[in-house]
Amino acid sequence: MNQFTKPAVILFDVNETLLDMTPVKRKVNSILDSRSGFRIWFGLLLQYSLVENCTNQYHDFATIGNAALDLAAVALDEEVGEHEKKAALSLMGHLKPYKDVKPGLQLLKQQGLRLATLTNSPQQTLMTQLSNSALTSYFEANLSVDAVRKFKPAVEPYQHAAAVLGVAPSEILMVAAHGWDIAGAAAAGMQTAFIRRKGQAPYTLAPKPDYSCRHIKDLANTLSVLQPGNPEAVSAR
Amino acid sequence: MNQFTKPAVILFDVNETLLDMTPVKRKVNSILDSRSGFRIWFGLLLQYSLVENCTNQYHDFATIGNAALDLAAVALDEEVGEHEKKAALSLMGHLKPYKDVKPGLQLLKQQGLRLATLTNSPQQTLMTQLSNSALTSYFEANLSVDAVRKFKPAVEPYQHAAAVLGVAPSEILMVAAHGWDIAGAAAAGMQTAFIRRKGQAPYTLAPKPDYSCRHIKDLANTLSVLQPGNPEAVSAR
């Protein structure tokens, strides 16, 4: 692994890494009448996306999100109507970036780095999210697992991203606020940066992330001291 | 799929299907200081077992359970010490069967059916669980995913079970209280029975279970009217 070699492309996860899901969290907690409603729902959504990976079927992330809301409602012994479900899920398209994101992306671009996104969300949701959060212009490519019909952290979406971007996986730095995403990128041979958003932690049974940063600006500052292709040993931990 | 053909072997999931996890639930809720602590932890455990499937690594379910307890603690902003974690996880070996389980297993044996278990837990935990709950004598084989180092619902553990039991997957009825387990068994070509334990629901994006029963006695009564190898159309729904 080219740890501490300056990457050619920075590849970002989107939900909870760039975009703040707080409005969805509040809404889901409200309709499930539980302070943990969002966590239970989003956990089921992630779990069942991998159930689909493991049973060789594919529904997009929005469709699984809808089914997972039913599972969460049963778990919490609540009734949630179709209208409420739709209202909660539609908020996914209208999230705002965390305040460190735009300045951080700007700093990364100033270093001449190529920027792209890779998400479990459907392609259309991704484009809506980037447009509504005014992030579109920062990225040269925006990729959804839709293209390969396997959810992260399976190896296929990461390999697909490397192929589309025309670089080796080792030249890509995957940036995410989820331990599972970091684990998948590392398994695919990418460099990894974990963003320490509130409530998130790396998965201790997977390889340690190459970088661990408070936010995107912090990551940009860390990378700014690396020379292109120079395996300088700079620790960001 | 041999729906409504009498199976040769009934294969049981263990945790939450045969054994009541209430003591673990209470303890985990207590150490995480949240009424949803258990659900968040067990959800993370299941999710990260599939992260391991998808990234081609394997730690046993107990080891992942320990790491998932750390992730749940971060999610809920709680501190959980090693001693507390160990105390919670050790309860997994001392669960009691739901009250329908022994009479149900007895009825199934009286029909001449072969009974076995297949669990994500490590082999040693499984044997301890069955011994402490006085269920060992009901089963001719007790199988852990340890043998194939892939967690359910990947196809490998189900195929392994069929091979060990010496029957085709279609001659096995997989019994579980989890939608994801039913989905995996169906993908492997097994018949499926969903047990409607509290808080559990089938996964609506996977094939519908062949049987949906309140409990194991209910399942035994449903199967009692089927003739061996006779594809009689009896609906248990």
User: Greater confidence, A174 or B230?
Assistant: A174
Q: Is there a contact between B75 and A39 if contact means CB atoms under 8 Å apart?
A: yes
Q: Are residues A49 and A151 in the same domain?
A: no
pLDDT band for position A227 (50/70/90)? Answer: confident
Average pLDDT over residues B207-230: 90
Domain boundary among A93, A123, A143: A93
- B192 has a pLDDT exceeding 80: yes
Q: Are A71 and B179 in contact (CB under 8 A)?
A: yes
Is B232 part of any domain? no
Q: In what order do the strands lie in the sheet with A211-213?
A: A141-144, A114-119, A9-12, A172-176, A191-195, A211-213
At A53, the amino acid letter reads N
pLDDT tens by residue, B5-32 = 889 999 999 999 999 999 999 999 999 9
- A236 has a pLDDT exceeding 60: no
Q: Are residues B107 and B168 in the same domain?
A: yes
Domain boundary among A49, A76, A93: A93
Average pLDDT over residues B108-133: 98
Q: Does A83 reach chain B within 8 Å, measured CB to CB? A: no
Q: Are B111 and B224 in contact (CB under 8 A)?
A: yes
Is B3 part of any domain? no
Q: Are residues B82 and B106 in the same domain?
A: no
Q: Are residues B116 and B159 in the same domain?
A: yes
Is A206 part of any domain? yes
Residue of A nearest to B205 (CA): A67
Q: Are B157 and B185 in contact (CB under 8 A)?
A: no
Q: Are residues B200 and B113 in the same domain?
A: yes
Q: Does A56 reach chain B within 8 Å, measured CB to CB? A: yes
ipTM metric: 0.94
pLDDT tens by residue, B97-113 = 999 999 999 999 999 99
Q: Does B21 reach chain A within 8 Å, measured CB to CB? A: no
Task: Give Cα separations from B8 to A105, B194, B209 (angstroms).
Answer: 60, 18, 18
Q: Give A76's contacts in chain B (Cβ within 8 Å).
A: 36, 199
Cβ pairs bridging A and B (under 8 Å): 130
Q: What percent of chain A has pLDDT over 90?
A: 92
Q: Are residues B107 and B208 in the same domain?
A: yes
Q: What is the CATH number of the domain that holds B216?
A: 3.40.50.1000
Q: What is the CATH number of the domain that holds A83?
A: 1.10.150.240
Q: Give A48's contacts in chain B (Cβ within 8 Å).
A: 180, 203, 205
Q: Give B74's contacts in chain A (Cβ within 8 Å).
A: 199-201
pLDDT band for position A4 (50/70/90)? Answer: low
Q: Does B229 reach chain A within 8 Å, measured CB to CB? A: no
How many Å lie between the alpha carbon of B104 and the closest alpha carbon of chain A?
A: 25
Q: Are residues A81 and A163 in the same domain?
A: no
Is A229 part of any domain? no
For residue B116, the SS3 value is: strand
- B128 has a pLDDT exceeding 50: yes
- B4 has a pLDDT exceeding 90: no
Total domains present in chain B: 2
Q: Does A51 reach chain B within 8 Å, measured CB to CB? A: yes
For residue A135, the SS3 value is: coil
Closest among A45, A25, A44, A47 to A36, alpha carbons compared: A25
Is B85 part of any domain? yes
Q: Give me the residue from A40, A199, A204 closest to B70, CB to CB.
A: A204
pLDDT at B123: 98
pLDDT at B229: 59
pLDDT at B236: 43
Q: What is the mean pLDDT of chain B?
A: 94
Domain boundary among A93, A121, A143: A93
How many Å lie between the alpha carbon of A116 and the closest alpha carbon of chain B?
A: 22
At A82, the amino acid letter reads E
Q: Are B132 and B94 in contact (CB under 8 A)?
A: yes
Residue of A nearest to B50 (CA): A50
pLDDT tens by residue, A63-100 = 999 999 999 999 999 999 999 999 999 999 999 999 99
Is B2 part of any domain? no
Is A114 part of any domain? yes
Q: Are residues A47 and A101 in the same domain?
A: no
Q: Does B78 reach chain A within 8 Å, measured CB to CB? A: no
Tell which of A28, A47, A58 to mutate to test the B interface (max B CBs under 10 Å): A47
Residue span of the structural domain in which A57 resides: 22-93
pLDDT band for position A15 (50/70/90)? Answer: very high
Closest among A184, A136, A191 to A157, alpha carbons compared: A184
Q: Are residues A165 and A79 in the same domain?
A: no
Is B180 part of any domain? yes
Q: Are residues B125 and B67 in the same domain?
A: no
Q: Are residues B72 and B151 in the same domain?
A: no
Q: Are residues B89 and B190 in the same domain?
A: no
